[in-house]
């Protein structure tokens, strides 16, 4: 049985009362709750608990999260960290090397591509149903709220906190690396005229097979729309296209036919993390490939700071 320790409440995707097969929440730190089994006052106290094998980290500031990740790994804990797990390329290299050196697993808490409807698409591409991919387009729109921090170092901001879902779709669903990226941003619509919160971004990318990709992400989704997210994924190939629809639908359109597939509800991505640590399954993606989209959004943010300059992805 894997013992889990939760740290931080800055965007935590894990619920204190969730039930997992093969794991249980042992203790928390900086997680307001009335039902937690044990509460520690400091992160170091949490790490000293020998019953905790996996620490889920949602640091108070995402741009400082590397310090908590490093300490947890050195304490012999497996780690899963809220997206973006890290905000510098060098920090990713350091953490990957450290996890391998101490023999512990490190995951980013961003398994959206393994959920419905996206989990259905990668096998369709592998089957060659739409031929070689030439273009990928992703739309990610969420509502603005006054709890969104004006300081993007707190949660990563629009590109790194929201756009990372889109870059994961582009890379992990198609199997293609993002080799270069360009991004431009705007603050139009930010009610705090002196704030730093980016409200919309347009991202262009070149993929490893020569294909092109684009992302439109924003905080403009109106409340009357009726859904938290206004999302769509379109993948265009030589022989057809794949488009996501509502209610976990996937539309496959070729020159000969149009088929609508229903993706069943998938297990929570965190269950896969537990199964990997318990040696019940292998990682879906190795750590380097898993963090490739994080490198991509770091480069996209760097591009936006330089007025859309093209940046190669390390």
pTM: 0.96
| Band of pLDDT at residue 42, cut at 50, 70 and 90 | very high
Give the pLDDT band (50/70/90) at residue 73: very high
What is the rounded distance in angstroms from the CA atom of residue 52 to the CA atom of residue 46? Answer: 8
Instruction: Compute the distance between CA of residue 54 and CA of residue 95 in angstroms, rounded to an integer.
Output: 16
Question: What's 27's DSSP letter?
Answer: E
Angle at Cα 90 formed by Cα 271 and Cα 199, nearest 5°?
70
Rounded to an integer, the average pLDDT of 78-98 is: 98
What residues contact residue 244 under an 8 Å CB cut-off, 6+ apart? 117, 118, 121, 231, 232, 233, 234, 250, 251
Query: Given this model, what pLDDT does residue 314 score?
Result: 87
d(CA 74, CA 63): 19
* Tens digits of residue pLDDT in 129-184: 999 999 999 999 999 999 999 999 999 999 999 999 999 999 999 999 999 999 99
Q: What is the pLDDT of residue 18?
A: 79
Task: State the CATH class of domain 2-109.
Answer: alpha beta
Residue 150: left (phi > 0), alpha (psi -120 to 50), or beta? alpha
Statement: residue 2 has pLDDT above 70? yes
pLDDT tier at 117, thresholds 50, 70, 90 = very high
How much is the pLDDT for 17?
75
What does the DSSP 8-state code read for residue 280?
Answer: S
Please write the tens of the pLDDT for every residue from 184-227. 999 999 999 999 999 999 999 999 999 999 999 999 999 999 89
Beta strands in the chain (DSSP E): 2-7, 23-29, 39-40, 54-57, 78-82, 106-109, 133-141, 178-186, 200-207, 212-218, 230-237, 240-244, 249-254, 258-262, 311-312
For residue 34, what pLDDT is reported?
61
Nearest to 183 by CA among 210, 162, 154, 155: 162
Is 3.30.360.10 the CATH number for 115-267+284-312?
Answer: yes
Q: What is the pLDDT of residue 33?
A: 73
Task: Determine the pLDDT at residue 258.
Answer: 96
- Rounded distance between C-alpha atoms, residue 30 and residue 12, angstroms: 11
Average pLDDT over residues 266-271: 93
| Residue-level pLDDT at 187 | 97
d(CA 272, CA 114): 10
% of the chain at pLDDT higher than 70:
99
pLDDT at 6 over 80: yes
| Averaged pLDDT, 14-20 | 81
Span 225-233, average pLDDT: 93
* Domain definitions of the chain by residue range: 2-109, 115-267+284-312
128 three-state secondary structure: coil
Give which of 245, 260, 283, 263 is closest to 119, Cα–Cα.
263
Categorize the per-residue pLDDT at 284 as very low, low, confident or very high, splitting at 50, 70 and 90: very high
Going by C-alpha positions, the residue among 185, 136, 140 that lies closest to residue 161 is 140
Q: What is the pLDDT of residue 35?
A: 67
pLDDT at residue 36, rounded to an integer: 67
CA 104 to chain centre: 20
Q: What is the mean pLDDT of the chain?
A: 95
How far apart are alpha carbons 49 and 39 in whole angstroms?
Answer: 11
């Amino acid at each position: 049985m894997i013992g889990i320790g939760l740290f931080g409440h800055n965007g935590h995707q894990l619920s204190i009362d969730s039930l997992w097969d093969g794991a249980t929440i042992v203790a928390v730190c900086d997680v307001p709750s009335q039902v937690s089994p044990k509460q520690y006052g400091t992160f170091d106290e949490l790490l000293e608990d020998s019953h905790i094998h996996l620490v889920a980290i949602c640091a108070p500031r995402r741009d400082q999260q590397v310090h908590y990740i490093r300490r947890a790994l050195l304490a012999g804990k497996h780690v899963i960290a809220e997206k973006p797990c890290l905000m510098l390329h060098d920090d990713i290299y350091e953490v990957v090397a450290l996890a391998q050196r101490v023999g512990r697993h490190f995951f980013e808490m961003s398994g959206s591509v393994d959920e419905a409807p996206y989990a259905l698409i990668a096998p369709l591409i592998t089957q060659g149903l739409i031929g070689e991919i030439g273009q990928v387009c992703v739309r990610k729109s969420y509502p603005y709220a006054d709890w969104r921090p004006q300081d993007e170092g707190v949660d990563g901001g629009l590109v790194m906190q929201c756009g990372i879902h889109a870059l994961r779709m582009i890379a992990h669903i198609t199997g293609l690396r993002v080799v270069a990226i360009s991004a431009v941003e705007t603050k139009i619509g930010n009610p705090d005229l002196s704030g730093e919160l980016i409200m919309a971004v347009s991202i262009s990318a070149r993929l490893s097979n020569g294909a092109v990709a684009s992302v439109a992400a924003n905080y403009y989704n109106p409340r009357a729309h009726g859904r938290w997210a206004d999302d769509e994924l379109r993948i265009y190939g030589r022989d057809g296209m794949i488009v996501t629809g509502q209610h976990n639908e996937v539309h496959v359109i070729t020159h000969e036919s149009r088929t609508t597939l229903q993706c069943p509800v998938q297990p929570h991505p965190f269950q896969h993390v537990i199964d990997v640590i318990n040696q019940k399954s292998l990682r879906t993606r190795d750590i380097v490939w898993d963090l490739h989209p994080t490198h991509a959004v770091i480069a996209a943010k760097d591009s936006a700071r330089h007025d859309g300059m093209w940046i190669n992805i390390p």
